[in-house]
Amino acid sequence: MIEEKINRCTDETDLLLVSGPLSDLIMKVEKVVASCNRLEMKLGNLLDRTKVVQFAQTVVAIVSNYVDENDLEKIATEISTSLEQT
């Protein structure tokens, strides 16, 4: 709905006229997102950094069964670097 309202605007005046309804829609979306986030947290469906690191360690352990040690070190380093960037 937000995108549709913005796409209907042909100039700055149109955008100014719909700014109130757009603001209202954006606030409603924010409330829905916040509610969904709280629900996901209560259900335990969100991954915190600790769980992600544990998962990465598990992946490296599984991969270690199938690749040699030099490649494993490269894989572990790349995963670690990727986690640090997020």
pLDDT digits (tens, 9 = 90+) for 12-70: 999 999 999 999 999 999 999 999 988 988 888 777 788 888 888 898 888 888 888 88
Stretch 3-17: mean pLDDT: 92
Same domain (yes/no): 77, 54: yes
Same domain (yes/no): 53, 35: no
Residues across the chain: 86
Number of structural domains the chain divides into: 2
Same domain (yes/no): 38, 8: yes
Give the count of beta carbons closer than 10 Å to the beta carbon of residue 79.
17
Query: In the prediction, which pLDDT does 32 show?
Result: 95
Same domain (yes/no): 7, 39: yes
Same domain (yes/no): 32, 62: no
Reduced DSSP (H G I as helix, E B as strand, rest coil) percent helix, strand, coil of the chain, to 5:
85, 0, 15
Query: In the prediction, which pLDDT does 66 show?
Result: 87
Residue 24 lies in domain: 2-43
